[in-house]
Structure 1
Amino acid sequence: MENQENLEEMENKIPCFILVGGKSSRFGDDKSKLFYKIQFDKCKKIFKNVFFVAKEKKFKKYPFFIEKSKIFAPIFALEEIIKKEKKIFVLSVDTPLISEKSIKKLLNNKATASKNPLIGYYDYTMLKKIKESTKTDLRLFHINPKKIRINNKELININKKEDLKLIRKF
C-alpha cells in the first residue's frame, strides 16, 4: 500500500518531459508528428504535468519546454529542465511502445531503462554528472546509476522509416 501511495504522490508532483527536438535526419521527416499524441495521452494518465521539449514549439495546444542549447543532444535539455524542475521523468517521442506499467515501474524505482538510459527518472542530485557529460561524451548512461530492465520491445526506437515495420508487429 505504501508503494502505491508513494507512486501516486510522485505522479502528482513530478512532471514528465517528452523529447521531440531531434533532427529526424535518418527518418527523413519529423517523426515526432507520428507519435506525439500517443505519448502525450499515455503520460497524462500517469503525470499531472506533461510537457514536450524542443528548440521551438511544434504542436499547438500542447505545453512546451523550449530548450536553449543550439546542440542537438538530449543531455543539454536534461540539464536545463533539472535546473528548473529538480525532479523529472523523461521520455522520448520515438519510443511509442513503452507501456504505462513500465513508466510507473521506472518512476517508482527512480530509475532509468537499462537499454535506453534517456527514459526514466532524473533529479538535481545528478546535475554534477550531467555537467561533466556535457563537457566530454554527451552520454546519459552513467547519469542515473539505478537501472531497470524493461522489455526490449517496449524500447524500440523509431529512427528510420523501415523501423515502422517493427512497431506494426506488436
Structure 2
Amino acid sequence: MIESTYAIIFAGGKSSRMGEDKALLPFGQYATLTEFQYHRLSTLFQKVYISAKENKFNFDCSVIEDRYPDHSPLVGLISVFETLKVEEVFILSVDAPFVNRDTIEKILTYNECDRDAIIAQSPSGVQPLCGLYKESILPLAYAQLEKGNHKLSDLLRLANTLFVQFNEDEPFTNLNHPEEYQNAFRRFDNH
C-alpha cells in the first residue's frame, strides 16, 4: 500500500470524442473502465474515490459528486478537497489505464517536498490528471474558478508545481477515440 494518500479517479468527462461515456465502457475483466481502475488503484492505495457529476456506477464504490454547476476537472478537484478535508490526494484520469505502480510511486517519492502539486510530465507535455495535489492549491483553484478558467494546466503554471519527468508518452495514453479504446481493450484482454 502507498502511504495514507487517497486516490481519486476522475470519471466525469463528457467523452465527446468517444461518442459514449468511456467511464462506463467494459475493460479488461471488468464491466466498466471505472471499475477496472478502481480495483487496480485499490491494490495500491488505502482508499479510492471516484469524482463524477453523479453516481452512475453499478459497483460498490465511493463517489464524490461535483459541488458546482460547471463540469470540469477544476470543479472536481475543488469538490474532492471540500468533501474529504485531507491534505493531499493522488488524481488519475479514468481513461489512463497504462499508468502503472512504478509511475505512481515515482511521483509520490516527491510528496515530502513543499509544493502545491507534483505532476507527471512526458515528452508530449504536462499530464494534469496524473499527479499529487495538495490542499495548498485551493486558494488558486478558487481564484481560477471565479475567473471561469477551468484549465488545470493553467492552474498548475500558477501554482508551486513540481513536474516529474518521464521519458515516454505511452503510459499516459488516454482513451479518447474508439480506436484507442479498442487497442487498449485488446492489450488488457490478452493479459
TM-score by length of 2: 0.76
Measure the CA separation in 2 of the matches of 1:33 and 1:131.
30
Residue 9 of structure 2 is matched in structure 1 by 18
Residue 60 of structure 2 is matched in structure 1 by 61
RMSD of aligned C-alpha atoms?
A: 2.0
Residue 157 of structure 1 is matched in structure 2 by 174
1:1-170 maps to which residues of 2 (within 5 A)?
11-34=2-25, 35-59=33-57, 60-83=59-82, 84-110=85-111, 111-114=118-121, 115-134=126-145, 135-141=147-153, 142=156, 143=159, 145-150=161-166, 151-167=168-184, 168=186
Say which SS state the counterpart of residue 130 (structure 1) adopts.
Answer: helix
1:139 CA drift (Å): 1.8
- For structure 2, the residue ranges without an aligned partner over 5 or more in a row are 26-32, 112-117
Measure the CA separation in 2 of the matches of 1:21 and 1:106.
23
Measure the CA separation in 2 of the matches of 1:41 and 1:169.
18
| Matched AA of 1:120 | G
Measure the CA separation in 1 of the matches of 2:87 and 2:96.
24
1:24 CA drift (Å): 1.2
Residue 28 of structure 2 is matched in structure 1 by none
| Matched AA of 1:117 | P
C-alpha contact (below 8 Å) 1:87/1:122 kept by paired residues: yes
Query: Compared with structure 1, are the counterparts of its residues 144 and 80 closer, same or farther at alpha carbon in structure 2 (3 Å cutoff)?
Result: farther
Say which SS state the counterpart of residue 132 (structure 2) adopts.
Answer: strand
Query: Compared with structure 1, are the counterparts of its residues 144 and 160 closer, same or farther at alpha carbon in structure 2 (3 Å cutoff)?
Result: farther
Q: Deviations over 1:89-125 (max 9, x none)?
A: 1111011111111012112223211231221101111
| Matched AA of 1:109 | Y
- For structure 1, the residue ranges without an aligned partner over 5 or more in a row are 1-7
C-alpha contact (below 8 Å) 1:133/1:140 kept by paired residues: no
Measure the CA separation in 2 of the matches of 1:61 and 1:144.
36
Q: Deviations over 1:9-43 (max 9, x none)?
A: xx342111101111112211110123112211221
What is the percent sequence identity of the aligned residues? 28
Say which SS state the counterpart of residue 37 (structure 1) adopts.
Answer: helix
Measure the CA separation in 1 of the matches of 2:5 and 2:178.
33
Higher deviation after alignment, 127-136 or 30-39: 127-136
Say which SS state the counterpart of residue 82 (structure 1) adopts.
Answer: helix
TM-score by length of 1: 0.85
Instruction: Give the number of aligned pairs.
Output: 161
